[in-house]
Amino acid sequence: MIKDRSKLTTEKRNARSRGIDRLSTLGIIDVLNREDARVAVAVARQRRAIARAVDVIVERFRRGGRLFYVGAGTSGRLGVLDASECPPTYGTPPAMVQGIIAGGRRALVRSIEGAEDREEDGAAALRRKRVRAADTVVGIAACGITPFVRGAVREAQRVGAATIFVTCAPEARRHIGARIIISPVVGPEVVTGSTRMKAGTATKLVLNMLTTAAMIRLGKVHDNLMVDLRATNAKLRDRSQRIVMEVTGVRRPRAKALLKQARGWAKVAILMHFRKVDFEGAERLLDKCGGSLRAAIAHR
């Protein structure tokens, strides 16, 4: 275990932001923007590790497994955010992707920094979720050494779950026992140690990639359209109608009618149009084709 945190990249001082308190407002913004520009490059260097992680997650999903994000502070909030966006975007059940944050729900809106200091608490959080071998656990810790996260990852390994770790501290890699390590090295923060900045941005990009690519592989995206979304508000109802219109070529009144018959499910509405089947028939066809709309339309 790393004893001296000052050796971690995420805790070092950034030579490019020294004297930032003497700059004009525009000068400060320019420094921030230049540093942020480094984030996407750092994430791109991890593309192979991210792709491997997606393949693991998809394989576990297909076995009925779940995906758990585990983090503290900013890292935990980002995991909860990514998990919470999956049901409305991809029609997933809430239990399929879950976020666990040290300190629980209260930590989402108020800093509870001490909640991250016990490995046993992280392990206990996973036990409460009844994590099993078919699941995937993604530990998220900018510094790579957060006890709560490390305890959760160890518990996941104990039960045989797949383990992935996201960290922006390359020094921590050799101390992490996860199956796959994703480590975008964004360098020291503009404000020393403030990992909600570049490290947080890099983490958000990585988590977006993990779930987005996984859902695409699971057939929840047709071309680049979110055909599995469930229309739960006016914005999503409009989007569903436009998706059906785009794929089928029908006008809005017909799209509305199809969606009504399909119980608001765009993928089913599209399939009902092309294959001239009812709701149950469309569901059966999708099941045969592993949820892929493209395969279901072409199926004979």
* Residues identified as active-site: 85, 116
List all residues 6 or more positions away from 161 whose beta carbon is below 8 Å from its beta carbon.
65, 131, 132, 133, 134, 135, 136, 137
The C-alpha atoms of residue 158 and residue 152 are separated, in whole angstroms, by 10
The C-alpha atoms of residue 88 and residue 146 are separated, in whole angstroms, by 31
Locus of tokens 């949820």: 291
The C-alpha atoms of residue 84 and residue 174 are separated, in whole angstroms, by 31
Locus of tokens 């294959």: 275
The C-alpha atoms of residue 277 and residue 294 are separated, in whole angstroms, by 16
| Alpha carbon separation from 273 to 159, 244, 250 (Å, rounded) | 45, 9, 9
